[in-house]
Structure 1
Amino acid sequence: MQTQTGDALIERIRTHPAHDKIMGEAANDLLSELYAGYPVENLARLLHSGEEVVVGVASWLLSELAELAAPMMAELPALLSSPVRNTRYSAITVALENADERHGPVIAQVLNLCLDPDSAIRYKMLEFLTDASLEQLEAGRSCLPPGQVKELVEWLILQDGEEPDLAGIVIRLEAGDPVTRLFAAAAAASLSGEEDTDLLEHAAMVEEEAIRSFAQERLERLREGDQR
């Protein structure tokens, strides 16, 4: 752990928010320091800098650290509510990697991003809904207020049972509103395998680009796995 080096990199990022090359090089070097043991808690100096670009870099660093970002979970509510798309995007990754049953309010905040109008965030939410554990979904559900998102989370949880609603998934993909289609696509991805891609193929025909591209990517993954 090279504290001096890490501190210098943080200062470099903090004082050069408008210089893309310096920021990029320093961020990559700082990521290496963090992997080598530089305390992740020091990223608070970037997260609280007041500069949206700097906060975005810190959010990206956390998203690259997987479970090493766990000590910074208290920072997620602010990141998830950021007006900057990339910051919200990275924060979703951090939540997926680190949130557990203790973080119900944070997971609920993530789940509400299904209502985000930004297509990139909606794509990221498809990843979250598909890859989140049942425990994460249940923790988030318990902290959601009554409404569409809570009802859809409850429906998605039920698809993990012995008798998923396959026909209902197709109906929701074809005739649901945008948020409902998002959950249906996540269910389709969760239930699809190398030998049964029918649900994902339905999702790949949805008009909404975020859902269509997500489904196509998952289909490609399954086909690549089938070739190995």
Structure 2
Amino acid sequence: MQILFLLYPDLTQLDMTGPAQVLARMPGARVDFAWKQIEPVMSDCSLALLPTVTLADAPQADILCVPGGYGCTDMMNDPHVLAWLRRQAAGATWVTSVCTGSLVLAAAGLLQGVRATCHWAWGAQLAKFGAIFVSERCVIDGKFMTAGGVTSGIDFAFRLVCELFGADVAEAIQLALEYDPQPIGGGTPATARPEVRALYETAIAPRLAARMAAIDSAAAAIGSQPLHAASA
């Protein structure tokens, strides 16, 4: 089973490494990380990641996954990346994303009419691409499976293992990884204290304008050219 992650500069590494750690333990799994060149790619926490294959040489994915992160802003308006995603999605059994990776899938025209989720701060922007935002940790619509913000990528991976191999295999991997979260609370907009949410919203304000401009540009491009149907 070929699992293929899009790796790009300034992604949030846990969006990718969290689900990769889970999915790599599935029976028969092969995991590759694709980018334009085989050279280190810097994540948004200064952890360098090395692609295993170029976009041009990447095998056809059974499971295609797009992580999110600061760099998704550039990916939404990168015609080479968007065209590659459309080609891969056409032959993939599952097309997936974590966090703001769903905005990149949407910018590729793949989520029109599809129920999808995203990081809570950006999910409403999916509507600009014709997607239907659902505020849940993991959303399945046909062959599309999308996860919410960052850590939900781990939960999405276990959900996918359940879909493919059943609960016993998923729980065995969970036990091997000792995945038993015990959060401190306040990890969602509904449960966070108002002062904590205000602190976070202030922190993201500097990049808000740039990302919104990128979203509007990418959404305008969707409306100006024919694209593959979401079910392709």
Q: Using structure 2 for the length normalisation, give the TM-score.
A: 0.29
Is the helix fraction higher in 1 or 2? 1
Greater RCO (CA < 8 Å, at least 6 residues apart): 2
What's the TM-score, normalizing by structure 1?
A: 0.30
Larger radius of gyration between Structure 1 and Structure 2: 1
Report which of the two has the higher share of strand. Answer: 2
